[in-house]
Chain A
């Protein structure tokens, strides 16, 4: 039998913005393969900042702490290396890139990752077949394919495109930043189904959200409350329900 292995371990992570403002004030978090963790917190508590620091976005300075990902020092890797090592960030605000075709972009990404793993690259035909199969599985239309990356996409289409990319790239660790925000119930169901299909014993998922709504569809193993740059409470899925009833005020000052 396989032992549950530690996928991500964050210890005492402090990070600040370019202007010196400290946003993350000592985060501790351990995520095991196969688990789904939910991180909940009010607007401005630092959820997206945590995701950005983990994904390697520029503009943040880590002033203390360590992050170990699959046994390696995550913070020593560049953003693109982290992605090739299997880390995936589902953006709260997916970026529009005029002039870059969505399919061309995704094939470049997938092949960069496959090359990194020593797997053969997919040619245009193989890639298209893989795409079609995945879209069908996720019940996403093919109309996203021929457009420029996220350009002219509705809010729901952007989120679906993120889930679709995740499904194609098959990450080890997926961080989903407010994938549920702004979605109608149908889109939410598509997204939740996509996430549930991604659950695997060798993959971990971190769901960042400030509503418990998504958690009705995707059942988390652990729930954490992030408040003003710190995790102030952790528990099982019942914690999310508690939050829904009592709000964040019970866990301390929101500002």
Chain B
């Protein structure tokens, strides 16, 4: 990418515009798309905390010490080693992205029906531009969200999963995002899932790593009529890591999306879910939990757009902020004028533990149709004193009793995850994380 630019540039974006994006020999359509996206990023600049969309995260450290995208040539081959604790031990199919690039030696792409396309994004760009081309160019977030635009400009790799009509992929597919700790840099990954009519998949995204890095991840999911996806994201990044992720989904008629995201570790974490229920009768469940301690920042943002009648949304987000941590939930559900009979509920429940922690919760409904059932609720409170006393009165130590109650509080969104072995893994990670937290 040329360092000479002829569009308005916000100063904080400069280090990223000079980066070497993509790889030599990329198709012209992609290079053009990258250039447009970078121009957009340069114009938008870093988001301001004065705007609504980014008011709960402090990104000054990133502005002060930029984390440049890692060039393809800088990625070292992976060393053999055991799986990180965050990885799902029972995973059959696994695609690993190490420092933002596909690592075949750490992947098991396994047996798939011949009609299913599953592989790295770079591979798909070369071999199946028909699958990814249009979708890569059509992401709304790339226009509005600065870091999505940056991602479109400089992404190095990602995964592509395309399932044709009627095909059901039973075993969950794990996408393992690793950071080796060898580079203080940013890893921009961009992935695409397209599901044909009445097809179905389960996706497990694990994010973990070592060192100081910025992971900037975009996953776009397109569901045709009656398609279904169950998706889990487990985020256990390094303490010094910044993790920004956008999960962007478009649901056709009677399609079904279920997403469960757990933000457990990492310095600054933001998980953005952007969902358009475009077809009639589309159903969407968004669940999540964050556990923020120390000086962690954790932020869930959901943007749900009901554009068609008879859609259904359930959102349940739980959060715990302890020590000096800051947790936030921002949720918006929009119901368009023609989207009658939409049934949408959003709930954000939070525990605020300690005088120096902070929690913000901001659920919003924008309803333009008259025959709908919509509600939202938000709570911020302390642990239930009566329940705590009950546990103490049986001899359980205070620190253990508190952990049991926090665990019980946070596990609700996880309790619906299938299969059981995946649910147990998530609950075990939650408990393990709780065990290392200092008692406040």
> A interface vs B, CB < 8 Å?
55-58, 78-80, 83-84, 88-89, 91, 94-100, 105-106, 108-109, 112-113, 116, 148-149, 165, 169
Contact = CB atoms under 8 A, between A and B. Distances in A.
Contacts of A58: 385, 389
Contacts of B386: 95
Contacts of B384: 97
A113 B405 CA distance: 19
Interface in B386-440: 386-387, 389-398, 400-401, 404-405, 407-409, 411-412
Contacts of B392: 56, 78-80, 83
Given A78-B398, A99-B407, A99-B411, A105 B393 contact: no
B393 A55 contact: yes
B348 to A, nearest CB: 17
Nearest to A79: B392
Contacts of B385: 58
Given A58-B385, A108-B400, A108-B404, A97 B394 contact: no
Nearest to B410: A99
A57 B387 CA distance: 11
B127 to A, nearest CB: 47
Given A80-B398, A105-B404, A108-B404, A89 B391 contact: no
Nearest to A116: B395
Q: Which of B385, B393, B408 has the most CB of A within 10 A?
A: B393
Interface residues on B, range: 20 to 34
Given A79-B389, A95-B386, A95-B387, A100 B394 contact: no
B396 A80 contact: yes
Interface of B: 384-387, 389-398, 400-401, 404-405, 407-409, 411-412
Nearest to B399: A80
A97 B405 contact: yes
A252 B25 CA distance: 98
A113 B395 contact: yes
A112 B396 contact: yes
A98 B386 CA distance: 13
B396 A97 contact: no
Contacts of B394: 83, 105-106, 109, 112, 165, 169
A109 B384 CA distance: 18
A105 B391 contact: yes
A149 B400 CA distance: 16
B287 to A, nearest CB: 14
A100 B404 contact: yes
B78 to A, nearest CB: 38
B165 to A, nearest CB: 40
A95 B390 contact: yes
A109 B395 contact: yes
Given A99-B407, A99-B408, A99-B412, A112 B393 contact: no
B395 A97 contact: no
A89 B384 CA distance: 19
Nearest to B387: A97
A99 B396 contact: no
Contact of A80 (B387, B401, B408): B401
Contacts of A94: 390
Contacts of B395: 80, 83-84, 109, 112-113, 116, 169
A80 B395 CA distance: 4
A106 B390 CA distance: 11
B390 A91 contact: yes
Nearest to B403: A108
14 contacts: A55-B393, A56-B393, A58-B389, A89-B393, A95-B389, A97-B384, A97-B390, A97-B408, A99-B411, A100-B408, A112-B396, A113-B395, A116-B395, A165-B394
B411 A80 contact: no
